[in-house]
Structure 1
């Protein structure tokens, strides 16, 4: 059951046409952990939360013109969610699990210039999820040299 207080941090909230199906699917496909569901008097999902490591994703129904599933707005996303796997976790197996559950893999696992191996997937309603795991810890100087970038802390530095 959910704690009554949350630590300081961020959580994403995603809207679905069928939030109950999405809640079940996110557990099966991505390994998100059910934390709690809040059902209304008709048994509809009013709110729910799932955990992954120290993070939370809120899963709910479409509830206003501004809170829609990509399936309701031509497949468009205004943001995507990045999920970092733990050190040593097998991202290729994670991708295979997601694919097996019906995720559309839109970018196969690939090692990036900054040392993470990542893949991107769309869930059944079209939300884009990126998963990554660090396979080689690199310094900013190393990834700048490899990627042709300049890393800073602030824009005005």
Structure 2
């Protein structure tokens, strides 16, 4: 077991977790940390790393743990990735790997450039890159919103 462990991980459920492991590596650049398989080669547990974060990739295992592909494309969460490389190139690469881009790259009032996509089973992912340093006051002025806790 690796010494490195994040303090928070999301578990993302797929019909075909092995295909998801390959796709997440190809489309987004995730790195496999751990794969535990049963005697038939079916994933029992897996973890993937992206920078200083990680996710668990699992199978559907109850009526409450389903892939969007099994529930009409519905999502109850969006997984977010922060990158420090060219967001537009990342988007193009994800699109070429089969991601459905649901929100094209756009620079936001808070200084990040973002896009959103659906993966091979319909999970929604948002990806961002900070492209401009913006103060809280500047973001409030541009957006018309009141912002608390700006870091």
Query: Corresponding residue for 2:107?
Result: 111
1:122 matched to 2:118: yes
Unpaired stretches in structure 2, ≥5 consecutive residues: none
Choose from 65, 68, 87 the match for 1:67. Answer: 65
**Which residue is equivalent to 2:77?**
79
Tell me how far 1:85 sits from its aligned partner.
0.3
SS of the aligned residue for 1:38 comes to strand
- Deviation of 1:124 after TM superposition, in Å, equals 1.1
Q: SS where residue 6 of structure 1 aligns?
A: coil
Cα deviation, residue 4, structure 1: 5.7
- Comparing 112-121 with 32-41, greater Cα deviation is found at 32-41
1:5, 1:134 → 2: CA distance?
26
Q: CA deviation at 1:61?
A: 0.5
Q: Which residue of the partner structure matches residue 13 of structure 2?
A: 15
Question: Which runs of 5 or more residues in structure 1 are unaligned?
Answer: none
Shift of 1:5: 6.4
1: distance between equivalents of 2:23 and 2:96?
11
Correspondence 1:141-152 to 2 at 5 A: 141-152=137-148
Q: TM-score, normalised by structure 2?
A: 0.95
Distance 1:43 1:124 in 2: 21
| Residue number in structure 2 paired with 1:52 | 50
TM-score by structure 1 length?
A: 0.91
Q: How far apart, in 1, do the equivalents of 2:4 and 2:25 lie?
A: 23
- The equivalent of 2:86 in structure 1 is 90
Deviations 1:8-37 (A, max 9, x none): x21111000000000000000011111111
Q: Pairwise CA RMSD of aligned residues?
A: 1.1
Aligned residue in 1 for 2:5: 6
Say which SS state the counterpart of residue 47 (structure 1) adopts: strand
